[in-house]
């Protein structure tokens, strides 16, 4: 009998069709450091497809911290922190992250994706509920599937939908509400004041995935809870190092007892190797640089505002989520999958790298091109990139 396992693989022709048409937009070869301008496949490109919001991947003191860490600790930890890979760097990083976001303690995981898996699958058990925004990151969906609890989605930023979900949770059941602080595709902020109010009404805990909020919004880049002055109302703050902190890894911060429980019970933490010394040192140096230069967040806001105006002058449309936004994520609606790939190819050929989002990352017919800006983008670069984008979508 023939094994049918790979039938779905052979039937999926989307990537092959895009390659055949010469518009496949993914896995471009980067040949320089991540910066406002990069060398990609032998040509200068303005980078509008990075999450390097503060531009710290090329900050000299951050780079130097990584080099020194390798010299002192070597290249890796060779095991989990639970048993044999627990560096003083990891402990220091956790302490400073917790202090930065106003929590008692923090725990560092290997990636942001792994953080969500480790937190939700551990805390949400049988008989518990996890309620999350429909536009939450894919890691939240996977985490909800991994847990033994009941998963309920609510319509994006729709508080009536959230309340209906919370009202359906049985009395006495544990419940965790999860929202992105800054939504990674649309660039809009969660309605966190309403989320916290409803969670309090129904006795639920609140977790904010602030992967795209840390360093971007809030006092000195402290994130979405800080932006809304709701630090005390948010139970768990999750963040990543691969965005504003110029490294690799993730963390969650909260009450000391909760974090300690995760240290001893979260499989993705206990059974995974620790992040490398270079990654920990880089994130710590980037965090300290941000604390020393809180104006970076305001600079990023200024860059984002200038980019919105540059797009508007040239007739570049923006998704409704970004029209009045304050984040550096500016999504351009493009409609169909092939049209999106063609537009992204024109931009790439013109010298601008962007992120095309097509199904299943977005609903069918709602593909878009996500542009994202850094504090290190100059007005001249933004003007140049905007001209190229305008030409690409108007052809």
Catalytically active residues are: 184, 212, 243
Q: Give me the sheet containing 250-254, strands edge to edge.
A: 105-109, 250-254, 236-240, 205-209, 175-180, 129-133, 150-154
d(CA 261, CA 103): 15
Q: What is the DSSP string of 354-382?
A: -EEE-TTSS-TT-EEEEEE--TT--HHHH
d(CA 20, CA 5): 26
> Is 159 within 8 Å of 198 (Cβ atoms)?
yes
Q: Which residue shows structure tokens 């693989």?
A: 9
Q: Where are the beta strands (DSSP E) in the chain?
A: 37-40, 43-47, 105-109, 129-133, 150-154, 175-180, 205-209, 236-240, 250-254, 329-335, 352-353, 355-357, 367-372
Count of helix runs (H) and strand runs (E) in the chain: 15, 13
In the three-class reduction of DSSP (H, G, I as helix; E, B as strand; rest coil), residue 105 is classed as: strand
d(CA 148, CA 120): 10
Burial 316-331, CB ≥16 within 10 A → b, else e: bebbebbeebbbbbbb
> Is 150 within 8 Å of 130 (Cβ atoms)?
yes
- Give the closest residue to 187 by CA, choosing from 357, 358, 45: 357
Q: Where are the beta strands (DSSP E) in 73-200?
A: 105-109, 129-133, 150-154, 175-180
| Structure tokens, 324 | 């009045």
């Amino acid at each position: 009998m023939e094994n049918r396992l790979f039938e779905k693989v052979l039937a999926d022709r989307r990537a092959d069709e895009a390659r055949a048409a010469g518009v496949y937009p993914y896995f471009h070869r980067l040949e320089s450091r991540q910066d406002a301008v990069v060398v990609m496949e032998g040509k200068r490109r303005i980078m509008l497809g990075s999450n390097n919001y503060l531009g710290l991947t090329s900050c000299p003191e951050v780079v130097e911290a990584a080099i020194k860490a390798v010299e002192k600790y070597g290249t890796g930890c060779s095991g989990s922190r639970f048993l044999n890979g627990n560096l003083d760097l990891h402990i220091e990083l956790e302490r400073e992250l917790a202090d930065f976001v106003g929590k008692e303690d923090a725990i560092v995981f290997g990636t942001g994706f792994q953080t969500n898996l480790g937190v939700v699958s551990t805390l949400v058990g049988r008989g518990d509920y996890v309620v999350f925004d429909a536009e939450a990151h894919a890691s939240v969906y996977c985490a909800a599937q991994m847990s033994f609890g009941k998963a309920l989605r609510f319509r994006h930023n729709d508080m009536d939908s959230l309340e209906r979900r919370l009202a359906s949770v049985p009395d006495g059941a544990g419940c965790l509400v999860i929202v992105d602080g800054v939504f990674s595709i649309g660039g809009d902020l969660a309605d966190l004041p309403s989320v916290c109010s409803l969670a309090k009404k129904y006795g639920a805990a609140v977790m904010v995935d602030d992967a795209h909020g840390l360093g971007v919004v809030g006092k000195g880049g402290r994130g979405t809870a800080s932006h809304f002055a709701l630090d005390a109302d948010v139970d768990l703050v999750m963040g990543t190092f691969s965005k504003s902190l110029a490294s690799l890894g993730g963390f969650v911060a909260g009450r000391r007892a909760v974090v300690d429980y995760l240290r001893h019970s979260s499989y993705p933490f206990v059974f995974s190797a620790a992040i490398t010394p270079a990654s920990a040192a880089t994130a710590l140096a980037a965090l300290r640089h941000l604390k020393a230069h809180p104006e970076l967040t305001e600079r990023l806001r200024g860059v984002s505002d200038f980019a919105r105006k540059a797009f508007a002058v040239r007739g570049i449309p923006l998704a409704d989520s970004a029209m009045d936004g304050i984040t550096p994520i500016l999504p351009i609606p493009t409609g169909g999958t092939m049209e999106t790939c063609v537009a992204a190819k024109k931009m790439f050929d013109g010298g601008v790298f962007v992120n095309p989002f097509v199904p299943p990352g977005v609903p069918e017919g709602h593909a878009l091109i996500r542009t994202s800006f850094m504090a290190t983008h100059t007005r001249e670069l933004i003007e140049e990139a905007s001209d190229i984008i305008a030409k690409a979508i108007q052809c």
